[in-house]
Amino acid sequence: MIEEKPRISGEMTGEGGTAVPAALYLFPVPLSDSSKIGDVLPPANAELLRGIRHFLVENVRSARRFIKRVDPSIDVNLMTFTVLDEHTRPEEVESMLEPLQNGEPMGVISEAGCPAVADPGADAVAVAQRRGLKVVPLVGPSSILMALMGSGFNGQSFAFNGYLPIEAPKRAAKLREMENRIRRERQTQIFIETPYRNNKLIAELSRSLPGQLRLCVASDITGKGERIVTRPLSQWAKANYDYGKVPTIFLLFN
Amino acid sequence: MIEEKPRISGEMTGEGGTAVPAALYLFPVPLSDSSKIGDVLPPANAELLRGIRHFLVENVRSARRFIKRVDPSIDVNLMTFTVLDEHTRPEEVESMLEPLQNGEPMGVISEAGCPAVADPGADAVAVAQRRGLKVVPLVGPSSILMALMGSGFNGQSFAFNGYLPIEAPKRAAKLREMENRIRRERQTQIFIETPYRNNKLIAELSRSLPGQLRLCVASDITGKGERIVTRPLSQWAKANYDYGKVPTIFLLFN
């Protein structure tokens, strides 16, 4: 049987981390450079960061910057950073968890948002799970979840689809499938696009889907320019907008 | 065009809230009675709470308890609470946003987790969106998202299905559909069950789905008894477990 332990130790010293229980801690990272840490992360995350030495990171430079942003007094030179990104082969991940296997806590840090959700990290979690090692997800900003909250769409049933296919026939088929799932299953459909194609995508959706379907465009979530706007596609077709440079989440519903 | 404003005002007084910009703020609530506020909520949420007088709440008593837990010095008697739950009819929601329409900030508080995600609140957000009123989702714990992070499953494509149907033929059809979407779309399938049926559900899944499919059982997330365990169904079939009394999220993947 699995032993029950407190999730986050109540006795952290903040002085080197021997008090942080061994586990793979998943650290969410602010979505926007303009957001204050206290707006988007619970204080416990900083406390845990101070007690962990070994990190799997999507990008070393941005991980260091994140840690410095959370607490400038942390000496990042005492930490080890191993890159875990979309180029990492699954078999490489096995050995990355050695410190945890030896009883030391480890952290996973992606570039923005929640590790393992639309971001690398899931492979490391899967290896930890396979070996029976403890995994602890931490609270933080998720653009997908916050976009869903702000959309007004069905939160009882929803799907995140990642990027739409690029090839025209596959893309059209995907749009039809999403439309069907909205109608038949009342399932909110969530997807993303590379920012420079955001405006084109909105125009395309307005053209190719029924005008009464509602599109929510949630951009720069938690940032200074946060805008979460839900309108029928027929209104988007006539609207002025420019989402060309900001990370944006798209949601469709009836 | 939509005016760009800072998301959360930098000039909150904490003394009655005139400084909080008018918007519908969506306040996540801790998932567990045992979790410390500082483990699961950013400090900004407390700051905002202090500046808002009008709340739409799933349950008045638990909303008051939540606010007291965040800051015992807040006088909840100065606040108004309007119930917005699964019995609220959509047409009743319209008038509930009157304070916001008059330029006052409002908050939405559900019983646990994130408002409007597998919880009431989406109707109020939809009305606000229709009227062009600003909606601001706040950061906090989501059992669905944290379960996904901790599962090791695909976070590039996933669906939350709510409760499985109860009737046997519909339930079997839903399980087949989820299995298909895992195989064909590599889409992680997430669902919930009423706690007293959790154990029965695990047994049922082990019996009726291929043994190599992996099931993640994520229970008491952020609580003292948090356990997030991923195993093939063939192993769950032989395992000892008891999830009979705790809120649990289930995830299936290949």
Predicted confidence at residue B7, as pLDDT, reads 58
**Do A227 and B2 make contact, defined as CB atoms within 8 angstroms?**
yes
User: Percentage of chain B surpassing pLDDT 70?
Assistant: 93
- Whole-number Å distance between alpha carbons of A248 and A217: 7
Tens digits of residue pLDDT in B218-227: 999 999 999 9
User: Percentage of chain B surpassing pLDDT 90?
Assistant: 85
**Do B116 and A149 make contact, defined as CB atoms within 8 angstroms?**
yes
Tens digits of residue pLDDT in A86-103: 899 888 999 999 999 999
Predicted confidence at residue A2, as pLDDT, reads 41
Which whole number is the average pLDDT over A47-63? 95
Tens digits of residue pLDDT in B8-17: 544 444 444 4
Predicted confidence at residue B89, as pLDDT, reads 87
From the centroid of its chain, how far is CA B17?
Answer: 26
Tens digits of residue pLDDT in A158-210: 999 999 999 999 999 999 999 999 999 999 999 999 999 999 999 999 999 99
Q: Is pLDDT of A65 > 50? A: yes
Pairwise pLDDT comparison (B7 vs B31), residue with the higher score: B31
- Whole-number Å distance between alpha carbons of B57 and A18: 42
Q: Is pLDDT of A12 > 50? A: no
Q: Is pLDDT of B243 > 50? A: yes
Residue A202: which H helix or E strand, with range?
helix A198-208
Which whole number is the average pLDDT over A26-45? 94
- Which residues from chain A sit within 8 angstroms of residue B41, using beta carbons? 42, 139
Nearest C-alpha in B relative to A47: B39
- Whole-number Å distance between alpha carbons of B144 and B160: 8
**Do A151 and B41 make contact, defined as CB atoms within 8 angstroms?**
no
**Do A149 and B8 make contact, defined as CB atoms within 8 angstroms?**
no
Of A167, A177, A186, the residue nearest A254 (C-alpha): A186
| pLDDT class of B91 with cuts at 50, 70, 90 | confident
Do residues A108 and A100 lie in contact, with contact meaning Cβ atoms separated by under 8 Å? no
**Do B125 and A160 make contact, defined as CB atoms within 8 angstroms?**
no
DSSP output for A85-134: STT--HHHHHHHTHHHHTT--EEEE-SSB-TTSSSTTHHHHHHHHHTT--
**Do B117 and A148 make contact, defined as CB atoms within 8 angstroms?**
yes
* Angle value at C-alpha A250, between A244 and A253, nearest 5 degrees: 145
Predicted confidence at residue A19, as pLDDT, reads 87
Nearest-CA distance A208 → chain B (Å): 22
Which residues contact residue B125 at a Cβ distance below 8 angstroms, ignoring those fewer than 6 apart?
A: A149, A150, A151, A152, B24, B26, B108, B115, B116, B135
Inter-chain CB pairs, A–B, below 8 Å: 202
Give the pTM. Answer: 0.93
- Which residues from chain A sit within 8 angstroms of residue B156, using beta carbons? 118, 160, 162
Please provide the average confidence, as pLDDT, over all residues in chain B: 92
Nearest C-alpha in B relative to A239: B1
Please provide the average confidence, as pLDDT, over all residues in chain A: 92
Residue A60: which H helix or E strand, with range?
helix A60-70
Pairwise pLDDT comparison (B110 vs B129), residue with the higher score: B129
Of A123, A96, A156, A151, the residue nearest B154 (C-alpha): A123
Pairwise pLDDT comparison (B19 vs A165), residue with the higher score: A165
Q: Is pLDDT of B6 > 90? A: no
HEC assignment per residue over B45-62? HHHHHHCCCEEEECCHHH
Q: Which of B129, B137, B154 is the closest to A230 by Cβ?
A: B129
Torsion sign, CA atoms A84, A90, A95, A99: positive
Nearest C-alpha in B relative to A189: B159
- Which residues from chain B sit within 8 angstroms of residue A213, using beta carbons? none
Which whole number is the average pLDDT over A73-93? 92
Q: Is pLDDT of A214 > 50? A: yes
Q: How far is CA B194 from CA A193, B114, B134, B171, B230, in A?
A: 36, 18, 34, 15, 20
Of A111, A98, A82, A10, the residue nearest A51 (C-alpha): A10
**Do A126 and B230 make contact, defined as CB atoms within 8 angstroms?**
yes
- Whole-number Å distance between alpha carbons of A21 and B220: 18
Predicted confidence at residue B17, as pLDDT, reads 43
User: Could you give the 3-state DSSP secondary structure of residue B19?
Assistant: coil
| pLDDT class of A17 with cuts at 50, 70, 90 | very low
| pLDDT class of A3 with cuts at 50, 70, 90 | very low
Structure tokens at A40: 């988007």
Which whole number is the average pLDDT over B155-181? 96
Could you report the predicted ipTM of this complex, rounded to two decimals?
0.93
Tens digits of residue pLDDT in B111-159: 889 999 977 899 999 999 999 999 999 999 999 999 999 999 999 999 9
**Do B126 and A153 make contact, defined as CB atoms within 8 angstroms?**
yes
- Which residues from chain A sit within 8 angstroms of residue B2, using beta carbons? 227, 229
Which residues contact residue A150 at a Cβ distance below 8 angstroms, ignoring those fewer than 6 apart?
A: A216, A218, A228, B26, B116, B125, B135, B136, B137
User: Could you give the 3-state DSSP secondary structure of residue B98?
Assistant: helix
Q: Is pLDDT of A104 > 60? A: yes
Long-range contacts: B193-199, Cβ < 8 Å, 24+? B193/B163, B193/B164, B193/B248, B193/B250, B194/B163, B195/B243, B195/B244, B195/B245, B195/B246, B195/B247, B195/B248, B196/B244, B196/B245, B198/B243, B198/B244, B198/B246, B198/B248, B199/B241, B199/B242, B199/B243, B199/B244
Predicted confidence at residue B179, as pLDDT, reads 98
Tens digits of residue pLDDT in B34-79: 889 999 999 999 999 999 999 999 999 999 999 999 999 999 999 9
Structure tokens at A25: 């801690």
